[in-house]
Each structure stands twice: as C-alpha cells, then as structure tokens.
Amino acid sequence: MHEQVYGPQDPSTPSAPAAYLATVESRLTADGCATRWEDWAGVPVLVGRRSDFRLRWMATKLYLFTVAAAVPEITVPVIEGFTEQVTKYAKATKGGLPVGLQNGVGAFPVLVSDRVDPAAVRWAEERQRVRFACMTRPVVVDSSRPYVGMYSGKPALGRVYAAYFIEKGSRYFYGP
C-alpha cells in the first residue's frame, strides 16, 4: 500500500513509534480486541487478540492476533524473525481446538521504527505468509515518513479470509 500513511505526526518527534503503538492499542480496543502489554526479552510488546466465527468461512473460527513493537531498526531479517516468533506465539496461545479443526489463526506482526530498510517494506508488502491454518500479514511502519507497508491482496491460499484481513488492517494501521 504505497501511498497510504497512518496520519499526521511530526517525524522529528522521538516518541513517534510509541505514539503510533498507543494509537494501534486504542484502535484494537475500540474494535473489541483484548489487549495487553508483554515483555519479550526486554522489549515491550503490545498484544491484541480477538476471535470471529463466520459461516462464509466454511463455518470456521479465526483467532486474530496483532503483536506490535517499536524497534531501533527494521531490516528483512528483523521482520522475518519477528513474524516467525509471532506465528509460533499465536499458535501456542490461541486455546481451543487444535489449529485446522474448524479454526485457524491469523496474525499481524507489526514493527515500528524511524529507521527502516526499504527492502523490509517490500518484503512485508509482497505477500501473505501461510502455513497450515495460519496466515500472517507482516506490517512495517516507518515512523520517520510516516508510512505503513503491508500486503493488501487476495492470495490463493486463505482467500476466503482476505476481505477480513484487509478490513482489519485498514482499521488498525491506517487513518487519521
């Protein structure tokens, strides 16, 4: 999503990543997500969680996790590693039936920084990552521009959930 930004902020403000995370937290809460802050190896991480059931999803329940953190710099290895960590976390903490038995996991791994490698943005925007009954859409936020990069397409695998991911991504990460 090349031309979308998350709203006006002074890019010289040192707290732009923290302000963005506070905005995401309020948007998650307003949308009915349970939110909390966790410590992941000394890094404060915002975790938002909700579940939704739809008949049009072949009568499945989707557990959606939004996990966001501010980091000093975002590179491809950093967002790849964080995406992997969030995927494992979501699958391990969702509860209920095992993944794939009329339920699935969706996740938005979100990293925010004022130092972002353009390759990391391209990596996040190129595609949704899919594993068995688990879909992730990494989000890279450059707080110096401001700019949000994430995949907004309709992939072959998990296509039935695409409109849901697009709507939630727009609601949580973009806007005034």
This prediction has a pTM of 0.85
Burial class from Cβ neighbours inside 10 Å (0-12, 13-18, 19+) for residue 120 reads buried
Residue 17 phi, psi dihedral angles, 5° rounding: -60, -40
Note the pLDDT of residue 102: 66
Would the CA dihedral through 73, 77, 79, 81 be positive or negative? negative
What pLDDT shows up at residue 157?
Answer: 62
Ordered per-residue pLDDT tens for the chain, 176 residues:
333 334 444 444 447 999 999 999 999 999 999 999 999 999 999 999 998 765 555 667 788 999 999 999 999 999 999 999 999 999 888 766 555 556 788 999 999 999 999 999 999 999 888 776 789 999 999 999 889 999 988 766 666 778 888 999 999 998 65
Structure tokens at 95: 């509860």
Q: Where are the alpha helices (DSSP H) in 40-174?
A: 76-93, 118-126, 162-173
How many residues comprise the chain? 176
